Amino acid sequence: MYTTAVHTSVFHRKLLLQEATPLQIELYDSGLSGFSGGEEDVEKLTAVFVLGIHKTFEGLSNRFQNVTFAVPRSHDAWAISVMNSRLKEALHRHKAENQKLHQALKTTLHQALTNLKIGGRVLNIDEPAVWVSYGFPKSPPTPEWLSKKLL
Tell me the residue type at 34. G
Indicate if the pLDDT at residue 106 is higher than 90. Answer: no
pLDDT of residue 60: 62
pLDDT of residue 59: 65
Share of the chain above pLDDT 90, in %: 69
Spatial separation of the C-alpha atoms in residues 113 and 19, rounded to whole Å: 22
Q: Give the domain ranges of the chain.
A: 8-147
Q: Encode pLDDT of 2-15 as tens digits.
A: 445 579 999 999 99
